[in-house]
Structure 1
Amino acid sequence: MSEIPFKNVAHSESLSLTSDDWDNNRRDAVESPEQRLKSAILKFGEVDAVEELPGLVKQIHAESTVLLPSSISEAVTEQPYKIPFYVALLRSLYDPSDVEGPPGAPPLARQILEDFWKGFQAYLDKLSWRDTRLCIHFFAHLTIAGIISADSMFGLLQSFTAVLDEFGVSHGRAKQAALCAAEGLMIAGQVLKQTSSSKVTDIMTAIQTYNDTTMTSRWIVLPLVHLHSTESNFNNVDELLDSLLLALKALDDSDFTETNNTYPQSYASFPALDSAEHPQFDLPSVLVPPEVIELDGLTNDDGEDVQVQKQEWPEYYIRLFDDEISPSPKTPLGYATRSTIVDVVDIFEVNRKECARLLLELPKWTSPGVFKPRPGAPAAEDPTPGPNWQLESTIIEVILGSLLVLPESSHKSLYYFGLITELCKLSPPTVGPAVGKSIRKLYTNLAEGLDVDVARRFAEWFAVHMSNFGFQWVWKEWIPDLSLDPQHPRRTYMRRAIEFEIRLAYHERIHKTLPPEMQDPASLTISEQPPGPNFEYDEADHVHHDAAQSVLNLLRGRAKPDDVIAELETLKSSLESSDTEHVDSVVRSIVVQSLLHIGARSFSHLLNAIERYLPLLRHIASAGVSSTGGSGNAEAKTDVLTAAATFWRQNGQLVGIVFDKLMQYQIVDPTDVITWTFANGGAVSDRNQHTSKYMSMYEWDLVKGALDKANGRVMIARRKVTALRKEDDETRARANARVGETMEVDADGKADELPASENPQLTAALKAFATLTREQKAALSCTLEGFVGALTNPDQRVQVQQVVSAAEWENRETWNSEQWSAWETWGWYRNFCRMYSPYLRNYSTTLYTISLSRFEGSSDPVEQLLHKTWNIAMGVE
């Protein structure tokens, strides 16, 4: 039989196929009954839930033998906006009158609910808090529908309020437990209050009592801060538990009659179930599992436990719009709407495009009148009264609020950046204006006390967003601010945002997007030249030009490190004979700058140059013993860092990269970088606009990189010791078990154990861990002492005192560069304390004694503020 290609299935009679052809042209995959049913459940309500409901009920009854227990729980936890519809589905399954089946058969809904409870218990055992909370939403709606008994729902909520009374409960655990209890009460409150008003009051009181204990710690994580006051009553910031309690109290005051306007109840039209025919489901009692804290038995040089637990703080969300435009989370409907958006953003972190689509379709799942109709939508004949919030403004406000939470956001910043970009692509005419208004509002807040780390994230997002849309922004709106002091937050924001833009494009392109007023070098907004390298010895008239060229030629020729080191000795002799001062420093500067000049073409060139000449770098930085306790010479390491910063002084990002590589290859220690940064304040910041030893974003990036390096090394060493110790224990146990089988048992019934033998690997790992722990402690201590020194420096004391004064804050528009720089330094000190508090607490006593104890009992406002910030971060206040 002749064979011809399979080209057109419409004319199959003209084709001749072999069996191999059929094998190679496989049929479309056919969904299994399980897959078909699961898909139907997950897609339920996408078109019209009311019309889809009867058909889905029949499908579930027809295929009940293949129903997957996880289908409903997965639908609830992945699509929380559909929870009321899934309650309606379950309620429909209690009335199988239109479905053929054995008379008197128990409702399938009860079996599904029992399976769902098992899934909930699994979420709870794993402390998967979001899934647990969404399951409680489901149970609360079922309580309203009469399927779950009110008493058992009370018991479930009370099991979570019991967490709030645990001794030493962490804020993160207490916050999640409070959310579970409070949101369940918000949904089911109408039925629960009719059952027992006192139990409702007890739940609210338990949450309020815990929330009162968090008041002191809030000041350190406020996105807007006044240094002279610890008050947190800003109009445009909302704390999560505060908002929750206000919304809950508003519902309670109305006896929860507003619940049906707060949470859609698509099952409300169903008739009440006959309790005799369909007894209510009683939720089993539960106990919230304790937090899992793995103790590995490792201690630092003070004998203190070094297990680091992430510190949780109260959550503040910044508001960008008025209550008429976006929902206030202090109201029941506002809180519920915002919570739904946050859950969608969290759940769909794995797929930002799908997340953006679902967010713009949110009105489909909310009650009519919650959001304004989209432009072009047909006008309703009978408009539903409601807040009519702007959907896009609400979404952008919630996303940016989540991005700017202190001390860090729940997800990587790039996820929030990308999500906003996807929203703009899906609906440019409506999302674009909301983004523009958000940028303007945040820019306005820069001078109102916006936290320095929030301002940094704002600048990063602005730059990334501009890069996705052609770097188009109406810079002319900000031209009047060029008259402000160069260190004013708005001026520094412009410079930083533009620098971030240049990192994402190139200097010339960004330069052209700016108005002439900002292009002018006198505006100190953008440099005239691209942020390129600066080889100090490149000019022929430089006194050390010939010496530098000789070293540079050796490096270009890929000479061996030993040959270069030998040449350096000759070079030193010639410089000494020419009466050059600080010969060693000059030689180190020439070597480092020449090496960076070789690697300036690209990142790979930089790495290749450093790796090839590691022996050379170690040689110039290794004479003597470092004052920090590590290997090397403190002066030599300072020279190496200074040379690197000088070479890349027009590019703060490259300074950080080079410093990181020098630490990675252990040419310098993290403590060396921190010491150098505080000693050379202003060397790499803001186009050298200030020379005093203050801290700006650029210096903070260097300090943060060093601290992260020290902490990361300790973490790696800890994991290695833990793994080796576990392996050693298992080896000993197996050996003892084998020997125990042949050894005689003593009178007490115990077999003699094998003597403990030395494990060389474990011993070496423990020594390395002890060394790295000391390095970590030194880095933290050096940073704290650096901030204390900068904020109590006699030469800067006047400016530092002024920025913590209420009277001076009211006159901040007249502040000079020194005052604004002092204010920013205070901000980075707060950021250091809150961000690294888990590490600082391990050494709190020692660090306090070294840096802060000398100010104890002081009446000086600066020293008092230093103490207060430290005490809040350490949990003392």
Structure 2
Amino acid sequence: MSGYRGRGRRYRDDYREPVQETPEQRLRSTILKLGEVDPLQELHRVAKFIYDHPAGIPFVAECIRIGVTEQPHKIPYYAALLKILHEPPPPEIAPGFPEGVSLGRSLLEDFWKGFQGYLDQLAWREIRLCIQFFSHLTTANIVSAQSMISLLLSFTTVLDEFGVSQGRGKRAALCAVEGLLMAGQALKQHSATSVLDIINAVQTYVDTTTFLKSLAQPMVRFHALTEPIEGSIEILDCGLAAMKTLNAQDFANLSDIFPQPYLDGPEPVLPPFDLPSVLVPPEVVEMDTLGESSSEVKREEWPEYHLTLFDNDVVPDPMTPAGYALKSTLLDIIDIYDVNRKECARILLEFAKWTPAGTFRPKPNPPPGIEIPDPVPGKDWQLENTVVDNILGSMFALPDSRQRSMFYIALITELCKLSPPTVGPAVGKSIRKLYSFLGDGLDVEIGHRFADWFSVHMSNFNFQWVWKEWIPDLQLSSQNPRRGFMRKAVEFEIRLAYYDRIGRTLPEDFQNPQAQILPDKAPGPDYEYDDPVHPYHDPAQSILGLLRGRSEVADVVSALESLRNSLAESNHGAANLDSILRSIAIQSLLHTGSRSFSHFLNAVERYLPLLRNLAAGGISSSGGIPNLEARMDILTASAQFWKRNRQMVGIVFDKLMQYQIVDPTDVVSWAFGSGHGNGEGPLKVDYCQWDLLKAALDKANGRVMIAKKRVIALRKEEDENRARANADGAGNGASMEVDTDAKPDDHVESPALTTAVKAFNSLTREQKSVLSCTLDGFAACLVPLPSEPNKNDFAREVIQENVWHNRINWGTGEWGAWETWGWYRHFCGSYSAYLRTYSTTLGTVSLTRIEGSTDPAAVLVKKIWNAAIGVEET
């Protein structure tokens, strides 16, 4: 009966023996868990454990290397551990250990081999964290100052490389900055000139990135794009300022900035270790078999700006040495632990114990026996506010964040669950601060991400928010960014819950139809021909009946042809009868699939031939040539049907592009107004249109990348097959005589490769067309031609300084134009890599309408374009 598990009975007889750790696993765990209780008290215990459990120098060095690169908050303590191991141990600590031998020196030699591996791979974060480790060892007099200076100078040499990319230059500069910050005192005592050389090299590099900052700042002034704006900071600028401040103070009192546990105890007896000289490997530009470099967007190529959401008496100022040191470590923790948000949240809330005493305000009501350190003048910051400030700063970086937004959102949620009384107020203050930036220059993309985060965060906490605080802002213009944020936040919340539930969380003022915040109806389909009084109600019902009955495509086409003939004979008075019939067919098809997403997909896939027939411009089964007007009608009818659910508009458009009913260029043209029926195009671009533009751009770019990978794979396969055939021929005794007239690369491509190359070329043309069409659309919105004197004066006015300062009086037109400028700036930043690839073509074709124009709007369009393609104006 011992193994019996009867229904309704449970026996605890499945006891399992605990898993026994090997000595290596115990040693690894001990090293990596250093300091989980008290780091200072654990150092000698861990050192003795290493002596007592010999596992080989490479194994111990690897464990320390993992600790340094995956737990950056522990780097000073790993340096202290190595200092203990550096000196020959007394017999009572390591009985039997060879006398006069330095275990720490051997570990450092092997650690260096791992660092060289990171260097060869250009693993920049690991390189930078290892340099921090070496810097602390330099301060501890374990590493020689001269070799550390040489190491840092090797990274400043990168900044002088011809054509160095912004990503490579920025990351090399950060390596030099952080190395100097942590070892500056020892380095300046050894060579003040070398310290100054490092600072000047970074300063020179920073001065060359001004034009890029115009597209990366979270707060924007279109009349002064490159000027710094209060409320935002750039990471490398902060490091440079901190470095200058410490140098002016001769790097005094570093123990108030970085933990320096290695300074306790006697000075080392053995001579310091000389770091070998290095040469930073060149950046590898990956060239594929098509002779092109990758066009993928790289966030590292841009300056990294962060918003500042709290005052300097609440969170550390990143422009100061202590503030920069804390910010750098917190950002590294957030990035490294992106795979485990729960562990990340725990470490962040325990971060105070890894900082000098008095850095952060102690938690209220400490346990008995815990001594509260006295506040340090100029510090006493709030940990939770600092953590939230860094998470949101990273999430709202432009043109893209370090990690996916959902990771940051989930991390904040975990922090709130772990410590609601302290993290909750910090999140609330952040929301209010971000809201205050709306209308004061906050970038439109950041405002969009803010609404997304706000709605998801509210959904995790029962949608509770003090909406009444924002009631006075309901008197602002309907296009004011604050009013726009409220609309988006409510719309996103409804997507995450139900219309009625969200409505009950809002004050009556927000529910008033005149407020234009809460929609008058729940999101859903709007079948235009459902009303019996509609003149086309009966014809639409006949088509709807056929589609619901899953009739054959030929029968539906035949019914549409019959309707066209009957309506034309009855002189119905419709000049655009073809457009009406297409609208009836599309809306009826969407109506049959409106119950759920799966119903929608089934309906579309069943009637793909019908959709292709409609897109071809004809109702007859014979079809016709591709017709732009027909495709615009399809998009317009789809948008009309889902006008009360803008999310579904994007979904339908995406599927129409996926099944090649419409092209991405069609969606771009429609978004800019070609399919809206007025023939003039819009005067502005809002976030709904931007979402459609982004979907079309991503679709075109994604298709090119997939096609390119296929061509590369097929060519690689052919090369391998040809090489294998040649080897087999040589092995079978084939003639090795060389035909001097034969061309080694003259071979016939396989049909699959030929087809793949043609597809790639076709998709590349489509990609170029989509980019060109988008650029044309923005230029048409922002720069009226001389023949259009009154088309959009607002676009010219809102970029003037005196008009901007008077924005309290702006109306719908001004705010709409300002938002359009914001989306154009974001387009150029987000797709800069693709724009650079086709810069010659796009610059001479798409911007022809503004070439040579002295119109302020034309000048600004060109200036933003030049920043995107990497051309610095003189």
User: 2:336 — aligned with what?
Assistant: 347
Does the Cα contact within 8 Å between 1:681 and 1:695 map onto a contact in 2? no
Give the letter aligned to residue 412 of structure 2: I
Distance of 1:135 and 1:381 partners within structure 2: 31
Bigger mean CA deviation after superposition, 160-169 or 767-776: 160-169
1:447 aligns with 2:439: yes
Summarize the alignment of residues 739-778 of structure 1 with structure 2, pairs less than 5 Å apart.
739-740=729-730, 742=733, 744-745=735-736, 753=744, 755-778=746-769
User: 2:305 — aligned with what?
Assistant: 316
Aligned length: 845
User: 1:58 — aligned with what?
Assistant: 48
Q: CA deviation at 1:432?
A: 0.9
Q: CA deviation at 1:572?
A: 1.2
Q: CA deviation at 1:857?
A: 3.1
User: 1:140 — aligned with what?
Assistant: 135
Q: CA deviation at 1:279?
A: 2.5
Cα–Cα, structure 1 residues 65 and 631, in superposed 2: closer, same or farther, change >3 Å?
Answer: farther
Secondary structure (helix, strand or coil) at the match of 1:291 reads coil
Bigger mean CA deviation after superposition, 663-672 or 265-274: 265-274
User: 2:113 — aligned with what?
Assistant: 118
User: 1:623 — aligned with what?
Assistant: 617
Cα–Cα, structure 1 residues 624 and 217, in superposed 2: closer, same or farther, change >3 Å?
Answer: farther
Does the Cα contact within 8 Å between 1:91 and 1:267 map onto a contact in 2? yes
User: 2:639 — aligned with what?
Assistant: 645
Give the letter aligned to residue 617 of structure 1: L
1:856 aligns with 2:856: no
Secondary structure (helix, strand or coil) at the match of 1:458 reads helix
User: 2:215 — aligned with what?
Assistant: 220
Does the Cα contact within 8 Å between 2:313 and 2:381 map onto a contact in 1? yes
Pick the aligned partner of 2:656 from 641, 662, 677.
662
User: 1:699 — aligned with what?
Assistant: 689
Summarize the alignment of residues 823-842 of structure 1 with structure 2, pairs less than 5 Å apart.
823-842=818-837
Cα–Cα, structure 1 residues 691 and 875, in superposed 2: closer, same or farther, change >3 Å?
Answer: closer
Pick the aligned partner of 2:429 from 425, 437, 452.
437
Summarize the alignment of residues 552-563 of structure 1 with structure 2, pairs less than 5 Å apart.
552-563=544-555
Distance of 1:655 and 1:702 partners within structure 2: 9
1:270 aligns with 2:261: no
Q: CA deviation at 1:735?
A: 2.5
Q: Deviations 1:766-801 (Å, cap 9, x if unpaired)?
A: 000010001101111110001111112333332111
1:159 aligns with 2:154: yes
Cα–Cα, structure 1 residues 753 and 579, in superposed 2: closer, same or farther, change >3 Å?
Answer: same
Q: CA deviation at 1:856?
A: 2.9
User: 1:636 — aligned with what?
Assistant: 630
1:415 aligns with 2:410: no
Does the Cα contact within 8 Å between 1:743 and 1:752 map onto a contact in 2? no
Normalising by structure 1, we get a TM-score of: 0.93
Q: CA deviation at 1:41?
A: 0.7
Q: Deviations 1:148-177 (Å, cap 9, x if unpaired)?
A: 111111121111111111111111111111
Summarize the alignment of residues 375-386 of structure 1 with structure 2, pairs less than 5 Å apart.
375-377=364-366, 380=372, 382-386=374-378
Cα–Cα, structure 1 residues 381 and 30, in superposed 2: closer, same or farther, change >3 Å?
Answer: closer
Give the letter aligned to residue 267 of structure 1: Y
Give the letter aligned to residue 656 of structure 1: G
Pick the aligned partner of 1:725 from 708, 711, 715.
715
User: 1:247 — aligned with what?
Assistant: 242
1:400 aligns with 2:392: yes
Bigger mean CA deviation after superposition, 812-821 or 745-754: 745-754
Summarize the alignment of residues 578-593 of structure 1 with structure 2, pairs less than 5 Å apart.
578-580=570-572, 581=574, 582-593=576-587
User: 1:210 — aligned with what?
Assistant: 205
User: 1:186 — aligned with what?
Assistant: 181
Distance of 2:282 and 2:234 partners within structure 1: 26
Distance of 1:850 and 1:749 partners within structure 2: 47
CA-based RMSD of the aligned residues comes to: 2.3
Bigger mean CA deviation after superposition, 66-75 or 141-150: 66-75
1:866 aligns with 2:870: no
Pick the aligned partner of 1:101 from 96, 100, 105.
96
User: 2:699 — aligned with what?
Assistant: 709
Cα–Cα, structure 1 residues 103 and 738, in superposed 2: closer, same or farther, change >3 Å?
Answer: closer
User: 1:612 — aligned with what?
Assistant: 606
Q: CA deviation at 1:145?
A: 0.9
Give the letter aligned to residue 757 of structure 1: V
Does the Cα contact within 8 Å between 1:317 and 1:402 map onto a contact in 2? yes
Q: Deviations 1:561-597 (Å, cap 9, x if unpaired)?
A: 1221121111111121122422211111011101111
Cα–Cα, structure 1 residues 381 and 399, in superposed 2: closer, same or farther, change >3 Å?
Answer: closer
Give the letter aligned to residue 749 of structure 2: E
Bigger mean CA deviation after superposition, 155-164 or 178-187: 155-164
Secondary structure (helix, strand or coil) at the match of 2:159 reads helix
Secondary structure (helix, strand or coil) at the match of 2:130 reads helix
1:565 aligns with 2:557: yes
Cα–Cα, structure 1 residues 85 and 545, in superposed 2: closer, same or farther, change >3 Å?
Answer: same
Does the Cα contact within 8 Å between 1:740 and 1:752 map onto a contact in 2? no
Q: CA deviation at 1:400?
A: 0.5
- % identity of equivalent residues: 55
Distance of 1:751 and 1:553 partners within structure 2: 68
Pick the aligned partner of 2:500 from 488, 491, 508.
508
Q: CA deviation at 1:258?
A: 2.8
Q: Deviations 1:699-737 (Å, cap 9, x if unpaired)?
A: 000011001000000000000001111111122222233
User: 2:165 — aligned with what?
Assistant: 170
Pick the aligned partner of 2:322 from 333, 337, 341.
333
User: 1:11 — aligned with what?
Assistant: none
Q: Deviations 1:49-98 (Å, cap 9, x if unpaired)?
A: 23222222221111123544311111111111111111111111124113
Q: Deviations 1:126-146 (Å, cap 9, x if unpaired)?
A: 221111111111111111111
Unaligned runs of 5+ in 1: 8-14, 16-20, 685-689
Distance of 2:535 and 2:306 partners within structure 1: 57
Q: CA deviation at 1:858?
A: 2.3
Give the letter aligned to residue 454 of structure 1: I
Cα–Cα, structure 1 residues 726 and 631, in superposed 2: closer, same or farther, change >3 Å?
Answer: farther
Distance of 1:422 and 1:353 partners within structure 2: 6
Bigger mean CA deviation after superposition, 51-60 or 368-377: 51-60
Cα–Cα, structure 1 residues 659 and 270, in superposed 2: closer, same or farther, change >3 Å?
Answer: same
Q: CA deviation at 1:105?
A: 4.3
Distance of 2:741 and 2:102 partners within structure 1: 58
Bigger mean CA deviation after superposition, 255-264 or 474-483: 255-264
Secondary structure (helix, strand or coil) at the match of 2:792 reads helix
Does the Cα contact within 8 Å between 1:223 and 1:450 map onto a contact in 2? yes
1:87 aligns with 2:101: no
